[in-house]
Homo-oligomer: A and B are copies of this chain.
């Protein structure tokens, strides 16, 4: 049986939309998208592209501290395959390739960056909460 995941949203019964049932089901394609977007390097690449508008491969390598060539390439391929990023190669020597967000990618990037910003802004609150005994060991 084919699920209604790939149907236009308007044709999906409203009852199945009311509350997120999609991501919670293991076989929903949205799990894949979520995986790419929230992957270790996916988040950071989207953040950078949102700021920079357009970036070369080596720019991204430098900005995203710690990423290897392999993982950067793979991450960019995922994001491109999902329609979030466009790759443009200029036919010159030495090679020149640009990456930029699509309109769709711009939207996810904003979501992701919003989360990232929250973490950065609240980092000290989080680190404080961390060291606490985690409480709740006290039985009720």
List chain A positions with a Cβ less than 8 A from chain B: 5-9, 19-20, 22-26, 29-30, 33-35, 37-38, 40, 43-44, 47-48, 51, 63-66, 80-83, 86-91, 102, 104, 107-108, 111-130, 132, 134-136, 139-140
Contact = CB atoms under 8 A, between A and B. Distances in A.
A1 B76 CA distance: 34
A114 B91 CA distance: 40
Contacts of A108: 115, 118-119
A26 B140 CA distance: 41
Query: Could you say how many copies of this chain the assembly holds?
Result: 2
A112 B115 CA distance: 7
Contacts of A119: 23, 30, 33-34, 37, 108
A126 B104 contact: yes
Nearest to A8: B124
Contacts of A123: 5, 9, 22, 29-30, 33
A116 to B, nearest CB: 5
A42 to B, nearest CB: 9
Contact of A115 (B82, B115, B125, B127): B115
